[in-house]
Amino acid sequence: MDSILVKGGGALNGQIPIAGAKNACLTLMPATLLSDEPLTLTNAPRLSDIKTMTQLLVSLGAEVTSLQDGKVLAMSTHGDINTRAEYDIVRKMRASNLVLGPLLAREGHAEVSLPGGCAIGARPMDIHTDGLTKMGAEIDLRDGYLHAKADGGKLKGAVIDFPFASVGATENIMMAATLAKGTTVINNAAREPEIVDLATCLRAMGAQIDGDGTSTITIEGVDRLHGATHRVVTDRIELGTYMLAPAMCGGEVELLGGKIDLVGAFCEKLDAAGINVEETDKGLKVARKNGRIRAVDVTTEPFPGFPTDLQAQMMALLCTAEGTSVLEERIFENRFMHAPELVRMGADIDVQGGTATVTGVDKLKGAPVMATDLRASVSLILAGLAAEGETKVARVYHLDRGYEHVVRKLSGVGANIERIAGD
């Protein structure tokens, strides 16, 4: 099993290109199931999760071709469709559940295994299935599979009130509603940039969608969708992650393709902590202001609030801040599993339920640590870059799910980092 070796202590300077968003691309890819015409995605990230989604779509009858070293995905679903999404593929990744809505919309029935993904807490499918049931689907769980069938073979528009702003459920219902008969209204819809990106792509395919980016989305069903070419939005989580590298290590790094409106709440916390973020004609330039990082309190919230996917990385920053920070995790339980690993590096962290209290120390010390999930893995790398000595991060297969060429990107700005092949 591969590991990553980091030797800390040096400032970082230069440019890091930010890839297309993993969470957006994984949502956009199943949209190919909604049309028999080609859908082409540009600015696609080169990640293991993208390969897993490709494998799933191919198993359902789609053709997926990777072009330009993986940055372009040319997809088409013009032949017979297999409506059963098998456990062996779906178990690898939570986003696999996003084929349920498109399959139901196009074929009128589907069998989709319950999904897998990172061990960061329960993320039930109830909100997805409740919404589809309101649209006329009959869904029951048997042998680990969701067996879904649209009444009369076609979904119908409905008013759907989400109990909370679920990103995945918003995406699934949006795609299902594009081909439903009548109008669907999603209340308490998620507002994330990935939702807006999906709506933009679906409109390019001929869908009628209004209100994306707000808490109420309206979709008027159409008879069919056509092909389109769409550029995947910048990955705001990769952006935020690499913004923290110069903040922790010193120096100045420009994040190519970055935009403040993707990470507004995050930038507010960085400013309060003593980190300068400046917009340029190419992206965002980040540097630490004079003096030691200041403690700040962080509460994760749905967009436009502070992203849960940046909580672990922010904790790594605050480990050496002046003062005491309180981080409250409101999105997922079990998302402080990186804290014990940071403590191994000398951090002072007390976790009580969904709250972590971080008292800053003068310096972290390198140590062997183990990644527990995708965002935890990169938080440990960031900590290693700022620590004295050598840090070895094990189980970095999590990292490959969400960060392309992390060693190349960080070494390109001066980091002393290498990947070590496992046995």
Annotated binding-site members for phosphoenolpyruvate: 22-23
Annotated binding-site members: 22-23, 94, 309, 331
Q: What is the pTM of this model?
A: 0.94
State residue 316's pLDDT score.
Answer: 98
- For residue 423, name the pLDDT band (cuts at 50, 70, 90): low
CA–CA distance, 221 with 354 (Å, rounded to integer): 41
Which domains are seen in the chain, by residue range? Answer: 3-18+234-420 (3.65.10.10), 22-231 (3.65.10.10)
State residue 332's pLDDT score.
Answer: 76
pLDDT tens by residue, 232-270: 999 999 999 999 999 999 999 999 999 999 999 999 999
**Residue 147 buriedness (CB in 10 A; 0-12 / 13-18 / 19+):** middle
CA distance between the termini of the chain: 6
Residue 116 reports pLDDT greater than 60: no
- For residue 187, name the pLDDT band (cuts at 50, 70, 90): very high
- Catalytic residue (one of 25, 118, 249, 267): 118
State residue 400's pLDDT score.
Answer: 87
State residue 372's pLDDT score.
Answer: 86
Percent of the chain with pLDDT over 70: 98
Spatial CB neighbours of 386, under 8 Å, sequence gap ≥ 6: 8, 248, 249, 316, 320, 364
Return the SS3 of 58: helix
Q: CA geometry: angle at 256 spanning 94 and 64, to 5°?
A: 40
pLDDT tens by residue, 343-380: 999 999 999 999 999 999 999 999 999 988 888 899 99
Contact indicator for 258, 20 with CB cutoff of 8 Å: no
CA–CA distance, 119 with 109 (Å, rounded to integer): 30
| In 45-166, alpha helices (H) | 48-59, 87-90, 100-107, 126-134
pLDDT tens by residue, 5-49: 999 989 999 999 999 999 999 999 999 999 999 999 999 999 999
Q: Which range has the worst mean pLDDT, 186-200, 216-230, 274-288, 364-378?
A: 364-378
Average of pLDDT values for 98-123? 79
Q: Are strands 355-359 and 348-352 parallel, antiparallel or unpaired?
A: antiparallel
Average of pLDDT values for 62-89? 96
CA–CA distance, 9 with 7 (Å, rounded to integer): 7
Average of pLDDT values for 146-173? 96
State residue 95's pLDDT score.
Answer: 87
Residue 121 reports pLDDT greater than 50: no
State residue 124's pLDDT score.
Answer: 67
Return the SS3 of 251: strand
State residue 118's pLDDT score.
Answer: 40
Active site residue 201: no
Nearest to 284 by CA among 245, 231, 230, 232: 245
State residue 117's pLDDT score.
Answer: 45
Contact indicator for 10, 399 with CB cutoff of 8 Å: no
pLDDT tens by residue, 319-328: 999 999 999 9
Spatial CB neighbours of 255, under 8 Å, sequence gap ≥ 6: 15, 16, 18, 239, 242, 243, 283, 284, 285, 286
Tokens at 111, concatenated = 């069998």
Query: Which of the 8 DSSP states describes residue 256?
Result: E
Average of pLDDT values for 62-71? 96
Average of pLDDT values for 50-60? 97
Annotated binding-site members for UDP-N-acetyl-alpha-D-glucosamine: 94, 309, 331
State residue 93's pLDDT score.
Answer: 86
